[in-house]
Structure 1
Amino acid sequence: MLKRIPTPLSDKHTVELANGKSLEASHVVKGCQLILANQTFSIDLIPIVLGSFDVVIGMDWLSQHRAEILCNEKIVRIPGFGSEPLMIRGDKRSAVENIISLLKAQKCLRKGHTAILALVTDTTEKEKKLEDFPVVRDYPEVFPEELPGLPPHRQVEFQIDLAPGAAPVARAPYRLAPSELEELSTQLQELLDKGFIRPSSSPWGAPVLFVKKKDGTFRMCIDYRELNKVTVKNRYPLPRIDDLFDQLQGSSYYSKIDLRSGYHQLRVREEDVSKTAFRTRYGHYEFLVMPFGLTNAPAVFMDLMNRVCKPYLDKFVIQRRARTTSTTYFGTPSEGTALRKILEMRLLAS
């Protein structure tokens, strides 16, 4: 095409570009070859500066060949090629939008544009396991795979105080699917083996239901709504999330110590155990450790955490704004100090 001699146009054409600029065209290159989907067409082209485009096919050529543009499929269909029309599919854009051809790059270099050569490699860091951290290896007692059994008696126990005149409430078990019944049997046995529940003859009885977790497993939940209605509310303050945001603003990386099954590390006061009773297809049971679903559980757990960590509140918050530099908030305690305190209280982390 470049070796063909342009022919002057009898009348000059004004071409308006997509950016609103107008250019004058005074010549035409006739009889050029256009190859689409291995089919050769003849086309007349008007030389004009198009930026990053090599050729823009005009409406006159598309109309001449009765082309149909399917915008939603990014396809141009040209009939007249036997039983099947010619299908020209648009290129799918890659994730990187600003890609130019080798020819375009060479043109830019000849014009004196600055070029930067970068080698991009895709590296994936091996995900670290808990035991890979030295501090975890130094305190293996704090990081067991599972809770070993019933927790010790602590300075805080979960208690259920009832409103005056409250009477025991028992509800019939909910109907469960076969897969849920199988899961119920398994989880009940695990709780019995650990000593977290025991058989009950309590006049109280809440039904059981299952909630599917993101990983596809089931979480057993006790519907304690009737018990919660007659429970005196514990007004122990919970931390304000906006205060936490104020302390941690500007930080990028965070680490934490999470208690393993934290609620199950807190005992229920003996005289209140019967109130936690729940009814199932496989029997009547009651909790010896704090279960999920009770109205005062978050407040009591917060009370325990504040008592355990009282000397260190606002002192174990270490703000690390980058991986290479760190600043501390209210002192610089070692991780070992925190873990020693957890170990002294016989709490277990994950």
Structure 2
Amino acid sequence: ELLERGFIHPSVSPWGAPVLFVKKKDGSMRLCIDYRELNKITIRNRYPLLRIDDLFDQLRGAMHFSKIDLRPGYHQLRVKEQDISKTTFRTRYGHYEFLVMPFGLTNAPAVFMDLMNRVFHEFLDKFVIVFIDDILVFSKSKEEHEDHLRTVLQILRQENSEVITMDPAKVEAITKWPRPTSVTEVYSFPGLASYYRRFVEGFSRLALPLTKLMRKGEKFVWNEEREKSFEELKQRLDSAHVLTLPSGSGGFQIYSDASKKG
């Protein structure tokens, strides 16, 4: 994926950091590059990273909040030409180097936060708080919050930051996914689809006919129920709604589901 998006390309650099895999909360694996040896000889950027508690002190009196996550934040910064070879990492599939700033470099958080603070300098602590790749917009009234959000999104648009859309590449990959012909292929589809499970109400129930095939000893039988589940998931993800936080003004009702189907 990094290669397809133009974030990396093959390298002949004498550098080469090893690659590690770290388990995420959902059980899948995250690619991590061990830049510890490079970090040891890197001159540290002393840009101050503020404490979360100090940032929250700015929120007194605010009643409306919106959090914007810049994904993938670091990859929006290009690496200097003379430093590209230093980002090289080695895998069993080849030797690659980053054209954009990778995760794992000791100065990456400071460099990115410096950039974001310069972008939003005029509005910091007025209605914007920046912490690395997260932007918190806070306001005292709904009307004021709408104006503040409009200002922030306009600035991001001017900086060519795509922050309000789902990843079209992932959605397209899901909608064009061919019908599975083996248990191995069944494993792959729910794994990719679950990336956006929070956008689909009842995702676990819809995916149940497919996830049953992943049980130990289950034979691969593709029937009408599984075909319906497969197509329904693709359709739901292709037309997924935007998520928003509830206002809370009308209270909440919680329904627990013990049916093993939800």
Kindly provide the CA deviation profile for residues 13-49 of structure 1, in whole angstroms up to 9, marking residues without a partner as x.
Answer: xxxxxxxxxxxxxxxxxxxxxxxxxxxxxxxxxxxxx
For residue 197 of structure 1, what is the aligned residue in structure 2? 8
TM superposition score normalised by structure 2: 0.55
Separation in structure 2 between the aligned mates of residue 304 and residue 230 of structure 1, nearest angstrom? 23
**Richer in helix (by share):** 2
Q: Which residue of 2 aligns with 1:290?
A: 101
Q: Secondary structure at the match of 1:193?
A: coil
Indicate the residue corresponding to 1:307 in structure 2.
118
Q: 1:224 aligns with which of 10, 35, 54?
A: 35
How far did 1:327 drift?
9.4
In the alignment, the residues of structure 2 paired with residue 252 and residue 310 of structure 1 have an alpha-carbon distance, to the nearest angstrom, of 22
What pairs up with 1:137-148 in 2 under 5 angstroms? none
- What letter matches 1:342 in structure 2? L
Between structure 1 and structure 2, the one with the greater Rg is: 1
How many residue pairs get aligned? The number is: 156
Query: Structure 2 residue aligned with 1:256, among 49, 58, 67?
Result: 67
Percent of residue pairs bearing the same amino acid type: 67
Q: Which runs of 5+ in 2 are unaligned?
A: 129-136, 165-262
SS at match of 1:285: strand
The aligned residue for residue 238 of structure 1 is: 49
Contact 2:66 2:138 in 1 (8 A): no
Structure with more contact order per residue of length (Cα contacts < 8 Å, sep ≥ 6): 2
Q: Whole-Å Cα distance in 1 between the matches of residues 138 and 151 of structure 2?
A: 17
**Hey, what does 1:343 align to over in structure 2?**
157
Look up the equivalent residue of 1:263 and give its one-letter code.
Answer: Y
Unaligned runs of 5+ in 1: 1-189
In the alignment, the residues of structure 1 paired with residue 94 and residue 146 of structure 2 have an alpha-carbon distance, to the nearest angstrom, of 52
For residues 108-187 of structure 1, the aligned pairs below 5 Å read: none
Aligned twin of 2:225: none
Deviation per CA, 1:44-89, whole angstroms, max 9, x where unpaired?
xxxxxxxxxxxxxxxxxxxxxxxxxxxxxxxxxxxxxxxxxxxxxx
Cα gap change, 1:312/1:259 in structure 2, threshold over 3 Å: closer, same or farther? same
Structure having the larger proportion of residues in strand:
1
Considering only aligned residues, what root-mean-square deviation do their CA atoms show, in Å?
Answer: 2.3
Deviation string 1:124-150 (CA, Å, 9 cap, x unpaired) is xxxxxxxxxxxxxxxxxxxxxxxxxxx
Amino acid at match of 2:71: R
The letter for the 2-side match of 1:257 is I
